[in-house]
């Protein structure tokens, strides 16, 4: 996990994440307007991606998300642990992708982040 100091919104589909103690800003035109979000928080997925993220704002079906999570788990087996916490009414797995140094162990008194998609659909 990295501690995130700032997130800069560059446009509707691109952000830059400024990691604490590291200048990790990609090449951005000076004419673009930056909006700084003034809060500190953890983002668990940053350690698996390039520092400058391009977000894909489109619908992803269950199979796409399952394939993506499985690929992340297979690509980074020492940092991730993919498991199911149950089934939907359609008998689909409810996936959890744990990310960290010890992804299969939940350490007591260590801060955790839970990101829930809260989506409905197919």
The per-residue pLDDT for range 62-111, each reduced to its tens digit, is 898 899 899 999 999 998 999 998 998 999 999 988 888 888 887 788 77
Residue 106 has a pLDDT of 77
C-alpha to C-alpha distance for 69 and 95, rounded to whole angstroms: 8
- Assessment of whether the complete model's pTM goes beyond 0.75: no
Has residue 121 got a pLDDT over 90? no
Three-state SS at 2: strand
**How far apart are alpha carbons 33 and 83 in whole angstroms?**
40
pLDDT tens figures, 24-44: 333 333 333 333 333 333 333
């Amino acid at each position: 996990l990295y501690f995130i100091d700032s997130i800069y919104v560059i446009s509707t589909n691109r952000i830059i994440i400024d990691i604490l103690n590291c200048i990790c800003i990609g090449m951005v035109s000076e004419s673009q307007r930056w909006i700084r979000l003034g809060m500190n928080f953890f983002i668990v997925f940053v350690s698996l991606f390039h520092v400058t993220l391009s977000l894909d704002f489109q619908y992803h079906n269950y199979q796409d998300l399952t394939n993506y999570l499985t690929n992340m788990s297979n690509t980074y087996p020492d940092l991730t642990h993919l498991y199911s916490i149950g089934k939907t009414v359609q008998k689909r797995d409810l996936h959890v992708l744990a990310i960290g140094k010890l992804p299969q162990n939940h350490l007591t008194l260590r801060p955790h982040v839970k990101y829930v998609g809260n989506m409905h659909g197919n």
